[in-house]
Structure 1
């Protein structure tokens, strides 16, 4: 019997390329390692193994180099890292968390990212996101699970005029097309 390992190549569900229109740029996110960590007791043990302190305050993020941890709930974090970390990071985290009750799930193939930036980013997103997105209400580093029209997303403000949207792959074209439609409408006015 063969011990062949099958590895699925991950391709973007978005056929579009980065584009700017009306002062807003849409960019498909690069492939990332995405892990969901559950377990309040596990957070401290995960800090060192992940290389960044997981945020303990609601709706916050923490970054270290190319890694980011987004607080999604009292005992839940979305961990983002370069795809090149996929061979070592899950094992390092599993080892560090061995003594703490937790769940660590790789969701890299489930999700993708859309990066949105530019001077009109807040009104563009507010066409579909029912949150106050001014920088005063939703500052840089804030992250939350919310809805985008009919799709569940994780919205993370990465800069004064920049957002990172994590969305299930099956909803990514839908979210992209809605953003495009509003960009075209705003550019025409």
Structure 2
């Protein structure tokens, strides 16, 4: 008998069509999409201890120490979440390897590595109207001078707790990392707010 197969279904799979339709209707002003299954590994350690250097070598990236910043390279993004906390985001399918690599790097030094990939999904919000759309529900100053590429922040969007990331190029838009239990609510809010930017009726 053939082995049972597990079919993954992302938190927003049922809204993929509506997100794509809103993108088309915006006439190029917006792009809305889910980026499901990104690897997300939470790391806690002393940024001045030997574990930080070991993690840097394991990732090929430094742990950012400036509040609200992130670094990218090798297909990974490392987000500053606090003085001793970071989130390492990588491609789908890499969570197990990342977790093992980081645990090995920390070794017996004080620290913690936790796979939180299943806790959140990621929404991509990009296009010329992306900042205006997000500003409707977020208290952060999203002007490029204040929140340009390489910035990240834990905040609220439409009252939902999120991690907001300005991507590496101005036109790349934003990642909105949201807990899976709030993903449907937040996506519906974005779809509703996006109606202001509809230019191409269907």
TM-score over 0.5 for the pair: yes
Q: What do the CA deviations read for 1:17-74 (whole angstroms, capped 9, x no partner)?
A: 2421431110101311111101123332211112211111111111112111000110
1: CA distance, partners of 2:7 / 2:58: 27
Q: Secondary structure at the match of 2:15?
A: coil
Relative to the length of structure 1, the TM-score reads 0.90
1: CA distance, partners of 2:124 / 2:166: 10
CA RMSD of aligned residues (A): 1.9
1:77 Cα deviation from its structure 2 partner: 0.4
**8 A Cα contact 1:10 1:109, kept in partner:** no
2: CA distance, partners of 1:8 / 1:60: 37
Residue 160 of structure 1 corresponds to: 170
1: CA distance, partners of 2:184 / 2:84: 30
Give 1 or 2: higher helix fraction.
2
2: CA distance, partners of 1:73 / 1:172: 23
Residue 15 of structure 2 corresponds to: 16
**8 A Cα contact 2:95 2:115, kept in partner:** no
Give 1 or 2: higher strand fraction.
1
2: CA distance, partners of 1:10 / 1:171: 18
1:90 Cα deviation from its structure 2 partner: 1.2
Relative to the length of structure 2, the TM-score reads 0.84
Residue 142 of structure 2 corresponds to: 133
1:100 Cα deviation from its structure 2 partner: 2.0
4+ runs of 1 displaced by more than 3 Å? Answer: 7-10
Matched, 1:43 2:42: no
Q: Compare 85-94 and 66-75 and name the one that shifted more.
A: 85-94
1:10 Cα deviation from its structure 2 partner: 4.2
Gaps of 5+ in 1: 1-6
